[in-house]
Structure formats: C-alpha cells, structure tokens
Amino acid sequence: MSETHIEVCSPATGEIIGSVPIASPDDVAACVKTARAAQAEWGARTLEERCRVLRQVKNVIIDRTDDICDLLSKEQGKPKIEAMVHEVANLVDLIHYFTSEADRILAPEPIPLHLLKHRASYLHWSPRGVVGVIGPWNFPFNICNAPVAVALIAGNGVVVKPSEFTPLIQDLAKEIFVQGGVPEDLIQVVHGYGETGAAVIDNVDMVEFTGSVATGRKVAAQCGERLIPCVTELGGKAPALVLPDANLDRTAGALAWGGFANCGQVCASVERVLVHRSVITPLLDKLLPKIQALEPGNTQEDDAVQIGPLNNRRQRDIVQSRVDDAVSKGAKVMVGGSVIEGPGNFFEPTVLMDVTTDMDIMSHETFGPVLPIMVMDDVSAMVEEANRSHLGLLAYVFSRDAETARVVAEQIEA
Ligand code: NDP
C-alpha cells in the first residue's frame, strides 16, 4: 500500500511530533483550481486593499511570534531566538517593505521609444495567476512565506509545497495568513515529496523554488517544458577571505556566527575559510575557544542552547561523510569531528585544518556545523580559490581597510 501520510520527527529526540497527508497529483491539481478560482476576486481588488490585508497578516505574525518560534524549534531544531531573528523578523520586515513600496514597484512604467515618438507605450504589471512556492527545510517559515506574501500583494493565488521535513510550520503559516484576512481558498498548502512538487509545477503559472542545485535543475527544466517562468534560489559554498590586516576579534566572531548559526544549515553559511598565513595563529587563538564553547542541545528544553541538531538524519550523514572524506585525505580535526550518538541528529561543532582542494568539503556544499580552514600565502591565491566553485552565491572578505576589501570582493564571482 502506498504511503498516505508523512510522519514528522523531532530532530532533537527522534519522536514523532505530527503527521500530514500526502497530496497526490490529482489533489494538487484540485488545489490549484481552487486557488485559481479565488484569485479572480483577489486580483480584482485594488493594490491598496491587498496591502491592507497583508499588513494585518504582518500584525498577526507579530502577535503569534511565540507560537511560530516554538514550532520552528520543535520541528526544524533551531534556537527560538534564531527563529525570531532569522525567520519572524525577516518576514515581518519584508512584508512591511513590500506593502510600503508596492505602489512604486507595481506602477506602470513608460517605455521610451525613440523612433515612434507619436506612440505612448507602457509596461503594466498584472498578476500571473497562481504561483507555486516550493521550499526547503532550513528556514521553512521565512523562505516559503516571503514569496507567498509578495505573490499575494501582486494579486496572485499561491500553492505552497513545503519540505517533507518541515511541513507543520506551513500549516501554521496558512492559519496566520487566513487569520489576517487572506481568503482561505487563495492560499493552498500541499504536502508530499518530489512527486507532489512536480505536480505543483505541472499546474501553476509561475514557480518560486528554493532548494538544492540538483532539484533546482529539475524544476527549471520542467518549467522550461511548460514555458512558465521560474525563480530558483540554490545552494552555496561561501568563502570567507581573512586578509593580513583583518580585525581578528571581529573576524573570529563573524566566523563563529557565519559557520554555526542554524547549525550551519544556511545557503549563505561560511563553508570555506581562506586565511592569510600571517594571521592564522592569532585567529585560531580567538576562534577555537568560541567553537569549543558551543554545546549542542535540545532547543525545546533550554532557551540558552546556542546550537541545535541538524534537521534530519540524511543531512547529518552528509556532514559526517564530508568530514570523513577530509580526514581520510589528511585534514586535521581541531574541534569536534563526529556525530553525537543518540536518537537526535546532533553533530559536534567542528573546525578542520590542513584541508586541500581535492577534499569534498572544499567543493560540495556541507550544510552543517563545520568550518574547514585553508592557510594561504597571498591574496591573489585566495581569490583564485574563492572562485574555484560553481556555487558562487555569497562571499565574505575581512580587512580593516574598506577599500582593500572592496577591491578583493569585486574580483570574487559570487
Ligand atoms: P531540496 O532541493 O532537496 O528540496 C527543496 C524542495 O523541493 C523540497 O520541498 C522538496 O521536497 C522539493 N522537491 C524535491 N524534488 C522535487 C521535484 N522533482 N520537483 C519539485 N520539487 C521537488 O533542498 P533541501 O530541502 O535539502 O534544502 C537545502 C538546500 O536549499 C541547500 O542546497 C541550500 O543551500 C538551499 N537553500 C538556498 C537558499 C537561497 O536563498 N539560495 C536558501 C535556503 C536554502 P521534499 O523535501 O519532499 O523532497
């Protein structure tokens, strides 16, 4: 018999904390149809009216911050304070920005025509129809619902397919949008695996996808088949370049945050540290104690826990395989290096030295609490190494001199 439900497990304890029904392709088609019918009325409302509703949604999010942060801690594993800063505050800020600026952003734009001066041409913005939002499990509240909010402001209906690992938070998000005044039929949530995501793409008018490169490639190809637009926000392998004149106190703090916030499960995480040889010893003196002090724990039980578990067992195994590969090729473990045995998905905060470019950890996304450090002799070699990645999403440069940092940053393809 085929699976009908997804059971959601606590990343900290392995206990089942909820369950959601799996939507079949026919269910997805029906949801898109319902959203499409509701969109006709919503799209006909004035922009001002839609923004008014979204401002109410923003206020409900603020009122329900504790519910959201508690569920994110329970289902995703992150500390509640990070849930507040990274997911709730971000989304609130984004809704505030777009409801304040929508008038300007969606104003018709005159198109200057040099040859046909007797004609007036304008670019008008109209809703696409139904936008499909397919999201990952690392920031499941913010990343799924930022595109939802923007699509709604612009007059669209939405169908959201959250990750199989974090479906519960999207059910709460829908409740919040509806509580704020969004018509219930206009926002649909469908649960399931890749097949459900693919069914969303088969039925909607535009796709906003955030996730891995491998899935993003499939999503873009499927959208291409249907000739519908898609936005893909994919993986990263951000390098952090530490120049000889860097402020090392601030650099050590930034690396600890950049590598270990959300247990390293961030597309913008520092995934490679490239340090000038002249500062490696004092930098390690400042950095290592900070990492040694990070004690992974259950973020549900103690608000003082600074780092939670990895979200799922698959991710924990990927992190272990990256570290094992590096160690087998000569990397030195300075801190951590292993899974913490038990029912949860905990992994020790880890710092590796003596890493080389042939190690997977320097080429493939790790998405976990690991900082591999490479010592280098000159800045041009650091730039070359930074650019040796196809995942040029973000990069960081540390220098006391803003002009030096800018010149280096502009050479990085990210
Ligand atoms: P995945 O690509 O594995 O999954 C993303 C979503 O796509 C999930 O909901 C998944 O469902 C769904 N999906 C899987 N197969 C298909 C398919 N064939 N068609 C349509 N949808 C499908 O990513 P993760 O969830 O593992 O997220 C982590 C990744 O996201 C990392 O690479 C990270 O860097 C990236 N990311 C990028 C960000 C950015 O802004 N650039 C921000 C945050 C994360 P299911 O889970 O059920 O398989």
Cα 272 from chain centre = 18
Cα 95 from chain centre = 17
Q: What is the CA radius of gyration of the chain?
A: 23
From the alpha carbon of 236, which atom of ligand 1 is closest? Answer: 34
Q: How sure is the predictor about 111, in pLDDT bands with cuts at 50, 70 and 90? A: confident
pLDDT tens, position by position, 195-228: 999 999 999 999 999 999 999 999 999 999 999 9
In this prediction, residue 14 carries a pLDDT of 97
Cα gap 227→222, rounded to integer Å: 9
Are 138 and 266 a contacting pair, CB within 8 Å?
yes
pLDDT tens, position by position, 3-56: 999 999 999 999 999 999 999 999 999 999 999 999 999 999 999 999 999 999
Nearest CA to ligand 1 atom 40: 233
Are 137 and 76 a contacting pair, CB within 8 Å?
yes
From the alpha carbon of 216, which atom of ligand 1 is closest? Answer: 2
- For every residue of 23-65, DSSP letters joined together read PPHHHHHHHHHHHHHHHHHHHHS-HHHHHHHHHHHHHHHHHTH
In this prediction, residue 56 carries a pLDDT of 98
**CB 215 less than 6 A from any atom of ligand 1:** yes
267: annotated active-site residue: yes
In this prediction, residue 9 carries a pLDDT of 97
Is residue 293 classed as helix, strand or coil in its secondary structure? coil
pLDDT tens, position by position, 33-45: 999 999 999 999 9
Cα gap 273→258, rounded to integer Å: 11
**CB 194 less than 6 A from any atom of ligand 1:** yes
233: annotated active-site residue: yes
CA of 62 to the centre of ligand 1 (A): 27
Is residue 92 classed as helix, strand or coil in its secondary structure? helix
Beta bridge partners of 339: 347
In the set 82, 267, 348, 365, the catalytic residue is: 267
Looking at the chain, how many residues does it have? Answer: 414
